[in-house]
Amino acid sequence: MYNIPYFKEKDEQTILDFIENNPFAFLTGSNLSGDQVVTQIPMLMEERQGELYLQGHIMCNTDHHKAFIENPKALLVFTGPNTYVSASWYSNTQIGSTWNYMSVHITGQINFMTKLKLIELMKKLTLKFEKGNTQSQTIYDNLPAEYLDKMMPGIIGIELKAEKIEHVFKLSQNRDKASYLNIISKLEEQGGNASMVAVEMKKRMEALFPAGT
């Protein structure tokens, strides 16, 4: 983790919103032999009694399933838009170029869910990503019983209680105002991920460069 103070968010809610808006996370761990495992899965975030929990599901009998049975320690990585930033856009161009990105790392231990808890999760998960549309044919409650009987035994629910939360939102906060504005302009010209990074940079303009500075 790139632990530089000016690349950190002071507002905890901003970090939670980032997780909420970027739920497709890398889930990584290792077995007792040290072999690394990783998969990407959508995660639901839930706060209970001041603690943060992340919930999702994985396929049974995969390398990561077997690894987490042996060693429940895990790392979740949530990532957002990222882009190359050329030093040619700075006021002082005689330094290295860089990469702007946003990332949140959460460590904890994997706990496997009961079948009933998995069903609860799947109801919440499908409804959330169907944007609350209870008429959608693909939410859990509207899926055919024969389909669920076939597919549900092949997955297992997981829950991770956040033991440590780290983040880096590297968005050129260490550049002067003229450079910062020029970077935004160049990124907007590129579109795609670059323009999404520019949007995040704009959100921080007032805090970084108060009126009159």
Mean pLDDT, the chain, rounded, equals: 95
pLDDT in the model for residue 174 = 94
Write the CA distances from 58 to 23, 31, 54, 128, 192, integer angstroms. 15, 16, 13, 18, 30
Q: Which position has the higher pLDDT, 163 or 10?
A: 163
Which tokens sit at 199? Answer: 């949007």
> Are the C-beta atoms of residues 128 and 122 closer than 8 Å to each other?
no
pLDDT of res. 213: 65
pLDDT at 1 over 80: no
> Tokens standing for 200?
């995040």
Its pTM stands at 0.93
Please check whether residue 6 is in contact with residue 174, taking contact to mean a CB–CB distance below 8 angstroms.
yes
Name the residue with tokens 């702007």.
Answer: 100
pLDDT digits (tens, 9 = 90+) for 117-168: 999 999 999 999 999 999 999 999 999 999 999 999 999 999 999 999 999 9
Q: How do residues 62-116 score in pLDDT, each as one tens digit?
A: 999 999 999 999 999 999 999 999 999 999 888 999 999 999 999 999 999 999 9
**Which residue do the tokens 């998969």 mark?**
39
Structure tokens at 151: 């597919």
Q: Report yes or no: 155 and 105 within 8 Å, Cβ to Cβ.
A: no
**Domains of the chain: residue spans and CATH:** 5-84+97-174 (2.30.110.10)
